[in-house]
Amino acid sequence: METLNLLFNEIYKILFLLIPVLVTVAMIVWLDRRVWALVQKRRGPNVVGPFGLLQSLADALKYIFKEIIIPASSNKVIFILAPIITMTLALVAWAVIPFSENLVLSDINVGILYLFAVSSLGVYGIIMGGWASNSKYPFLGAIRSAAQMVSYEVSIGVIIINVLLCVGSLNLTDIVLAQQNTWFVLPLFPMFVIFFISALAETNRPPFDLPEAEAELVAGYQTEYSGMMYAMFWLGEYANILLMCAMGSILFLGGWLSPFDIEILSFIPAPFWLIFKILFLFILFALVKAIVPRYRYDQLMKLGWKIFLPFSLIWVVLTAGYLLYFNLLPSQL
Amino acid sequence: MVAHAIFFYFFSIIAIISAIMVTASRNTVHSVFFLILDFISISCLFIMIGAEFLGMIMLIVYVGAVAVLFLFVVMMLNVAQQKNQWFGSSKSSSHIPIGLLVSLIIFFELIIVVGGWQYKPDLLNSSTITVSENISNTHSLGNVLYTDYIHLFQISGMILLVAMIGAIVLTFRERAGLKRQSYINQISRERKDGIQLVDVPSKKGVKIDV
């Protein structure tokens, strides 16, 4: 009986986290389209509900009632598994995101490694979908995105090392608490910029959306998908974007902390600060989508390997040297 | 404790079955997917014994990078079309004896290593590892990795670097007539390099494309 109670308690907690995340993902799609439209002096979705807020719900309803077409020559098991994996991985990572000092589903020791591992597994959904479709464009899209995501993960990993040098712990709560005096965005500003751009590439957002470049590859790895399976890819993609925004706000923007520890601002509860920061980063993502043209593939690879990787490696040496010279290395032991 | 055992058997059974399926499945791409499943269950086992750092690194390095490249190669080389018929066809089963020999040797080596483990009781005492309850796994690993084992650590890094450079040297071919884009040339190009103003005499024209 005791274990059963414990189990139900955990399930309640998980639902309490997952349902807001899913609703936010639906809302954020609306926000994305709206920002995109406003930059281009259009109106964007504004018909369904107040300000078009229910547009995503209408879209989801449409996807649910559409027929799911599975191509005859596809590899059916993997074809069906691909969107499920994308969606699951995008949601499973939220378990370690701390919304305030005590409000975290699982406060594990290696939280940042877990986040990094889950985000690097995200490539499998795309690669499986592209391969199982057994068709040219999805396959080309999948190959492109595999190369792209593996390349940019490397520089994200090095950037994370930069932050970890300043913190001395892999725990996400410790990372946020280490930023009580200054957010890491100030001392590590170049790393924040590189993290932001690499996050764009990691989530296949414009200007790096080559895996689904419609001018060349129809819709990339999503070409053969329809109905609910397409919607799951789509939800997973946006959940991943939100996750990257959350990761950016925890690593660089001080997570749930209010700016500069000002007393007056602390009447806003801690989780809301994290949500504000995630939304801020997301609006930046949406703006980038609207104003930057798509990269060419060789330029994308050159940027990742020849510019970002050496630069962030040099920055690791600089950070370590600075911390060592001024005796600022975190000593938790 | 019961839950722990249940999880252990769950992950280890998945690991063993997927390891068997890596060799048994007909489709090469399926083999790679089973290999990934194997990696994931083994990293879950690592996490269960409290080696959370090793488990996560296993996920990041093997599943997140190495296996992606595996898949990449398998898909690109189109080996998915040629089905594995190792035990089925007569002409492709010639490498089975060598494979069996190598796996037998590895098997006996593993037995010797595991069996000889108990004859090295001072293994823990031979280094400065201090096992403490309140130090996390990652911290203690970092403590010994950069102090006691710094040379081994650097040597393994060097070996990886050499392997990387070797692979690049082996596959690099200089191709003639390849057009490259140079940002510096593009940026440093000025108006006078590209534009020439000419006074054209009437009815005579001017020769372009010199």
DSSP B55-74: HHHIIIIIIIIIHHHHHHHH
Which of these, A203, A200, A239, lies nearest to A92 by C-alpha position?
Answer: A239
Give me the phi and psi of B110, to 5 degrees please: -65, -40
Give the range with max mean pLDDT: A243-257, B60-74, B136-150.
A243-257
pLDDT at B54 over 70: yes
- Which of A10, A121, A174 is the best substitution to test chain B (most B C-beta atoms within 10 A)? A121
Mean pLDDT, chain A, rounded, equals 85
Q: Any CB–CB contact under 8 A between B33 and chain A?
A: yes
Instruction: Encode A27-55: b = buried (16+ Cβ within 10 Å), e = exposed.
Output: bbbbbbbbbbbeeeeeebbeeeeeebbbb
CATH number for the domain harbouring residue B62: 1.20.120.1200
Q: Can you tell me the distance from the alpha carbon of A120 to that of A127, in angstroms, rounded to the nearest whole number?
A: 12
Q: Would you say residue B45 lies in a domain?
A: yes
**Residues in chain B closer than 8 A to A117 (CB atoms):** 56, 59-60, 63-64
Q: Which of B34, B65, B85 is the C-terminal boundary of a domain?
A: B85
Residue B189 in any domain: the answer is no
Question: Domains in chain B: how many in total?
Answer: 2
- Residue B16 belongs to a domain: yes
Closest residue to B64, CB basis, from A117, A131, A333: A117
pLDDT in tens, A257-271: 877 766 666 677 878
Q: How many domains does chain A have?
A: 1
- How far does the CA of residue B19 sit from the closest CA of chain A (Å)? 19
Residue B66 within a domain: yes
pLDDT above 50 for A333:
no
Residue B22 lies in a domain: yes
Of B23, B25, B26, B24, give the one whose Cα is nearest residue B83: B26
- Categorise residue A108: left if φ over 0, alpha if ψ from -120 to 50, beta otherwise: beta
Measured distance CA(A132)–CA(A79) in Å, rounded: 5
Within-domain flag for A49: no
Interface A-B: count of C-beta contacts within 8 A: 65
| Residue B16 shares a structural domain with residue B76 | yes
pLDDT at position B96 is 76
Q: What angle do CA A66, A69, A73 make, to 5 degrees?
A: 175
Between A110, A113, A131, which is nearest B75 by CB?
Answer: A131
Domain annotation covers residue A35: no
How many other C-beta atoms lie within 10 A of the C-beta of residue A246?
Answer: 26
Co-location of B20 and B71 in the same domain: yes
Q: What confidence tens digit (pLDDT) does each residue in B128-146 have?
A: 555 666 677 777 788 788 8
A117, B33: Cβ pair inside 8 Å? no
Q: What percent of chain B has pLDDT over 70?
A: 82
DSSP assignments along A134-168, one per residue: TSHHHHHHHHHHHHHHHHHHHHHHHHHHHHHHHH-
- Contact between chains at A139 and B75 (C-beta distance less than 8 A): yes
Residue B17 lies in a domain: yes
Are the beta carbons of A333 and B59 separated by less than 8 Å? no
* Nearest chain B residue (CA) to A154: B65
Q: Is residue A312 part of a domain?
A: yes
Tell me if A46 is assigned to some domain. Answer: no
Query: Which of A78, A117, A123 is nearest residue B68 as measured by Cβ atoms?
Result: A123
* Residue A20 counted as domain residue: no
- Per-residue pLDDT, A318: 92
Of A110, A142, A332, the CB nearest to B56: A110
- CB < 8 Å from A in window 12-31 of B: 29
In a domain? residue A281: yes
In this complex, is the C-beta atom of B60 within 8 Å of any C-beta atom belonging to chain A? yes
AA identity, residue B14: I
Among chain A, residues having any CB pair with chain B shorter than 8 Å are: 78, 108-110, 113-114, 116-117, 120-121, 123-124, 127-128, 131, 139, 142-143, 146-147, 149-150, 153, 157, 170, 298, 332-333
- Torsion angles phi and psi, residue B77, rounded to 5: -75, -5
Q: What integer pLDDT is reported at residue B122 of this predicted model?
A: 59
Question: Quick check: B51 and B141 in contact, CB under 8 A?
Answer: no
**Contact of A55 with A48, CB cutoff 8 Å:** yes
CA distances from A122 to A54, A128, B22, B156 (A): 28, 11, 22, 29
Q: Establish if A314 belongs to a structural domain.
A: yes
Q: Which range has the worst mean pLDDT, A123-127, A204-208, A257-261, B27-31?
A: A257-261
* pLDDT of res. B93: 60
Do B2 and B80 lie in one domain? The reply is yes
Is residue A11 one of the residues assigned to a domain? no
Binning pLDDT at 50, 70 and 90, where does residue B109 land? Answer: very high
Please tell me whether residue A185 adopts helix, strand or coil conformation. coil
Best of B40, B46, B56, B70 to mutate (most A CBs within 10 Å, chain A)? B56
- A177 vs A175: CA distance, rounded Å: 6
For residue A133, which phi and psi values (nearest 5 degrees)? Answer: -65, -25
Give mean pLDDT, residues A315-333: 82
Residues B142 and B70 placed together within one structural domain of the fold:
no
Q: For residue B30, give the chain A residue with the closest CA.
A: A78
Segment A212-236, tens digit of pLDDT:
776 777 777 888 888 888 888 888 8
Q: A240 or B196: which carries more pLDDT confidence?
A: A240
Range of the domain at A178: 72-325
Min Cα–Cα distance to chain A from B116, Å: 33
What are the distances in angstroms from CA B195 to CA A65, A261, B190, B191, B208? Answer: 61, 59, 9, 6, 12
Evaluate the CA torsion angle B96, B102, B103, B105 in order and state its sign.
Answer: positive
Instruction: Give the dihedral sign, CA B51/B56/B61/B64.
Output: positive
Three-state secondary structure readout of A263-296: CHHHHCCHHHHHHHHHHHHHHHHHHHHHHCCCCC
Count CA within 13 A, CB hemisphere, residue A117. Answer: 23
The nearest CA of chain A is from the CA of B114 a distance in Å of: 30
CA B117 to chain A, closest CA, distance in angstroms equals 30
Residue B44 domain-assigned (yes or no): yes
Q: Which residues on B lie below 8 Å from A333 (Cβ)?
A: 135, 139, 143
Top mean-pLDDT range of A44-48, A157-161, A272-276: A157-161
Residue B150: domain span: 128-173
What confidence score (pLDDT) does residue A310 get? 92
- Residue pair A150/B65 in contact by the 8 Å Cβ criterion: yes
Q: Do A113 and B33 touch (CB under 8 A)?
A: no
Do A143 and A294 touch, CB atoms closer than 8 A?
Answer: no
